[in-house]
A and B are shown apart, each in its own frame.
Chain A
Amino acid sequence: MSTEHGQQLADISGYRVRLDLAYFREADLWVETLAGGRARVGLDPLGAETSGTLAQLALVAVGTAVTRGQPLGSLEAEKFVGPLVTPLSGSVVATNEAVVARPSLVEQDPYGSWLVEIELARVEELDELVSGETVAGYFADRVERYRREGVLAE
Chain B
Amino acid sequence: MTRVSLPLLPPKPADRQDTTREPSAASQVSPDWVRISGASALALRFRSGRFGRRFDFGGINLLLNYDDGCRSDCAYCGLARTRPGTYEDKSFIRVDWPLVRTDELAERMARYEASLTRLCISMVTHPFAYRDTCDITERIRRAVATPLSILVAPPTLNRRRLERFHELGVDMIGIGLDAVTEELFRSLRSDVPAGGAGLKWDQYWQVVSDARDVFGPWKVNCHTLVGLGESDRDLVEIFVRLRDQEIFSYLFSFNPEPDSRLGEAPRASLRRWRRVQLVKHLVETERYGIEDFRFDDDGSLALLTAAPESLEEVIETGRPFTTDGCPSSGGEPGCTRPYGSYRPSEPFRDFPFDPDPADLAGIRADLALDEITERSRRA
Interface residues of A (CB under 8 A from B): 49-53, 55-56, 58-61, 73-74, 76-82, 95, 97, 100-101, 104, 149-154
Contacts and interface: CB of A to CB of B under 8 A. Distances in A.
A51 B15 CA distance: 14
Interface residues of B, number: 29
Nearest to A101: B4
B198 to A, nearest CB: 33
Closest 4 CB pairs of A and B: A52-B49, A81-B344, A154-B45, A153-B48
A59 B12 contact: no
Chain B contact residues: helix, strand, loop or mixed: loop
B128 interface: no
A154 B12 CA distance: 16
Contact of B344 (A50, A80, A104, A153): A80
Contacts, number: 96
A152 B338 CA distance: 18
Nearest to B44: A154
A96 to B, nearest CB: 10
Interface string B365-376: 000000000000
A49 B15 CA distance: 11
Interface string B26-55: 000000000000110010011111111000
Contacts of B47: 52-53, 153
Contact of B42 (A52, A74, A82, A95): A52
B16 A76 contact: no
B49 A50 contact: yes
A151 B49 contact: yes
B49 A77 contact: yes
Contacts of A56: 3-4, 6-7, 345
Chain A contact residues: helix, strand, loop or mixed: mixed
A151 B343 CA distance: 20
A56 B344 CA distance: 11
Contacts of A149: 50
A49 B12 CA distance: 14
B1 A60 contact: yes
A100 B45 contact: no
A76 B345 contact: yes
A79 B1 contact: no
B330 interface: no
Nearest to B54: A149
Interface string B223-258: 000000000000000000000000000000000000
B270 interface: no
A81 B345 contact: yes
Contacts of B339: 78-79
Interface in B319-350: 338-339, 343-345
A53 B1 contact: no
Given A59-B1, A154-B45, A79 B16 contact: no
A76 B12 contact: no
B1 A58 contact: yes
B9 interface: yes
A149 B45 CA distance: 11
Contact of A95 (B2, B38, B51, B343): B2
B338 to A, nearest CB: 6
A43 to B, nearest CB: 13
Contacts of B52: 79-82
Nearest to B39: A79
Given A53-B12, A76-B343, A80-B344, A100 B2 contact: yes
B157 interface: no
B357 interface: no
Nearest to A59: B2
Nearest to B344: A81
B23 interface: no
Given A56-B4, A58-B1, A60-B1, A78 B45 contact: no
B51 A61 contact: no
Nearest to B46: A153
Given A55-B7, A76-B344, A81-B52, A49 B16 contact: yes
A7 to B, nearest CB: 22
A154 B51 CA distance: 17
Contact of B6 (A50, A55, A80, A95): A55
B95 interface: yes
A17 B257 CA distance: 39
Q: Of residues B3, B45, B50, B51, which shows the largest number of chain A Cβ atoms within 10 Å of its Cβ? A: B50
